[in-house]
Structure formats: C-alpha cells, structure tokens
Amino acid sequence: MTFRLLLRAVMIVAIIAAVYLLVRTLREYSLDEILQALRSIPLSHFAASLAFAFASYFCLSCFDAMGVRYAGKRLAFHRTLLTSFVSLSIGHNVGVAALSSGAVRYRYYARWGLTAEDVAKIVLFCGVTVGIGLMTLGSLGLFLRPQEAVQMTGLSSSAVFTLAIVSALLPVVYVILAATLRKPLQLRSWSFTMPSLRLALGQVLFGTLNFACVAASLHQMLSAFSEANYLKVAAVSIIANVAAIISHVPGGIGVLEATVAHILPGAQSVAAVIAFRVAYYFIPLAIGLPLLIGSEMLIRKSDKARPRHEDEAPEGHAHPA
C-alpha cells in the first residue's frame, strides 16, 4: 500500500512538473518567436517532422507491448499504446523518465491487473531497448560520420572507431545471449532474465527505428534551412540523446540547442530547435495530459459501473487481451 501511494505521489508530482516545465519553457520564447519560428519552417517540413515524431512514439509503444510480454502478461495493444504515449509524453518533458513515466505506467497497468513487479520489469525492458537502439544507430553514425564524434567529444579517431565497434557488437551479443542463455544473467547482485529471441530482435528493430525517427524529425526542421545530411543529424542526435539521458535534463534543454548549433550555427538553429520542440515535446504533451485526465475519468466511471463477478481476475493477475 505504501509503495502504491508513493507511485501515485510521483505521478501527481510528474504531472505538476510537466505543466510547470511546459509553461516555463514556453516563457523562454515569446509567442512572436514561436510563431516566427514555425512560419519560417515550410508546412511540408513541419508536417513530416510531426509525422516522424509520432512514429517515434509508436515505436516506444511497441517497447511497452513487448515489455508486457516479457513480464509474462498479455494486454490489448491499444492499452499499451495509451499507457506508453501518456507516460512518455509526460516523462520526456519532466526528465528522469524511468521514474516519472514509470509512475504513470503503474497507474494504468495496475488497473489492468499487472503488479508493481510487472511494471518494474516493463520499465527495465524499455530501458534496455533504449540502450540497444542508441548503440545500434549510434554505431552506424560513428562508422559513417566519425569526424562529427571527434569534433564533439574531443576523442581521438581510434577511440571513436573502438567505440563504434563496441556499440555495434553489444546488440549482437545481446541477441546471441537471448537465443542461447536460459538462466538469468547475474552481475554481482544484479540479475536480468534474458527475453526470448523474438523479443530481443524486436528490441533491436524498434529501438533503432525509434531513434531513427527522432533524428528524422529533427532533420526535417534543419533541412528547412540548409542541406543537412541525415547521417550527420543522426550522429549528433544520438550524442545529444546520450547526454540528455545521463544528465536527466527535462526535454534535453540546453543539450539539444548545443548540438543543433553544431550543425546549423546562427539564429536559424534557434528556429529549428523551437520548431522541433513543438513537434516532439509540446504537441505530444498537450495531447498526453488531457488523455491522462480523460482516461482517468473514463476508467473510474467504468470501474464504478461494472459489477465485480466471482470469475473476475483478482488484482495482480492480467486479463487476457
């Protein structure tokens, strides 16, 4: 009970923080600046960027769908889609996404019969998928655009090449372990049960597609001002994502600006960043918050209207989809 109250408190704090950060971030740009930035982006580019942004959120919802299977449960995809989108549209803006989005996830999944342990497995599975996606796409960017990594990190060419090889090999090792290892992977006190080969391959596929879509969304904004190379944008975007994850900065504030300025110096980079934030962060958050409130009201109403039957699954056991 105490753990549930803690997660509920975290969810409430996350919602309040999301609203606050949205207002605070919007205050950093005047309405005229936002409108001018959006007007400077051709509608076709903005629409394509928004489409790639929502394709990224769709990939993230597949993380959750696979995570539910990894936890040994079954849920209809529309439920994992709703849960993932709402939790991550908030988590991406609040920062410390594993905790903030995890609390929102628990709010939904607990109503559908999953336990706190199940949700923890889902969050861990999604986190591993993020890492696999970063390494897979990152290795490709490091191999094809090593000069960008050298300039941005200060590492030597040989160090970047070594990092690219390691990043490419780790997902391969992960898939091999999923195909061959039957016992939990034990590292000191930390234990991780490998997913099935099918789920592991899904992690590589959707993890990579997610970050490819994020990079494509940013690329559409940058290409409105210059002949931005997609692989260059992808490489820089991966570095920015790693920095944002390590720092837990909400929405990668400051990190994204610095990386975009590396590709597109000058005032145009500000317009590209503002437009990208609108497409990837603000619009999903503006949809996610009302969805959370609306779904809470509908779920509560259905819970009150639905009589409990003797054959209804008790709390902690999922209904089959």
Q: Over the stretch 116-143, which tens digit does the pLDDT of each residue have?
A: 899 999 999 999 999 999 899 888 888 8
Answer yes or no: is 23 within a domain. no
- pLDDT at residue 165 is higher than 70: yes
Q: Does the residue 199 lie in any domain? A: yes
Residue 34 has pLDDT above 70, yes or no: no
Question: How many structural domains compose the chain?
Answer: 1
**Which residues pair with residue 186 across a beta bridge?**
191
* Domain assignment present for 69: yes
> CA 182 to CA 260: how far, in whole Å?
44
Residue 135 within any structural domain of the chain: yes
Q: What is the pLDDT of residue 85?
A: 94
Quick one: pLDDT at residue 37?
A: 67
pLDDT: which is higher, 309 or 192: 192
The answer to the question of residue 106 being in a domain is yes
**What pLDDT is attached to residue 233?**
83
Q: What is the pLDDT of residue 236?
A: 76
pLDDT at 318: 43
- Say if CB 88 and CB 217 are below 8 A apart: no
What's the rounded mean pLDDT across residues 153-178? 89
Give the Cα separation of 116 and 105 in Å (integer).
Answer: 10
**pLDDT (tens digit, 9 = 90+) per residue, 73-88?**
999 999 999 999 999 9
Per-residue pLDDT for 253 more than 70?
no
List 185's β-bridge partners, or say none.
Answer: 192
Please report, rounded to a whole number, the percentage of residues in the chain having pLDDT higher than 70: 70
Domain extent at residue 59 = 32-301
Residue 244 has pLDDT above 90, yes or no: no
Strands 190-192 and 185-187: antiparallel
Poorest-confidence range of 18-32, 72-86, 212-226? 18-32
Q: Is the pLDDT of residue 161 over 60?
A: yes
In the chain, count of helices (H) and strands (E)?
Answer: 13, 2
| 306 within some domain | no
Tokens of 55: 């394709």
Minimum mean pLDDT range among 145-154, 216-225, 270-279, 284-293: 145-154
Give the integer Cα–Cα distance in Å for 59 and 80: 11
**What's the rounded mean pLDDT across residues 134-162?**
82
> What H or E segment, with its residue span, contains residue 187?
strand 185-187
Contact (CB, 8 A) for 26 and 34: yes
Residues 6+ apart with CB under 8 A from 183: none
3-state secondary structure of 64: helix
pLDDT at position 321, please? 40
Is residue 226 within 8 A of residue 41, CB to CB? The reply is no
pLDDT reading at 25 higher than 70: no
Q: Is the Cα dihedral 50, 12, 115, 181 positive or negative?
A: positive
CB 21 within 8 A of CB 251: yes
Query: Is 148 inside any structural domain?
Result: yes
Task: Kindly state the average pLDDT of the residues 215-225.
Answer: 89
Which pLDDT score, from 0 to 100, does residue 52 have? 97
**Domain assignment present for 196:** yes
Question: Where is pLDDT greater, at 301 or 216?
Answer: 216
**Higher per-residue pLDDT: 71 or 266:** 71
Per-residue pLDDT averaged across 274-294, rounded? 88
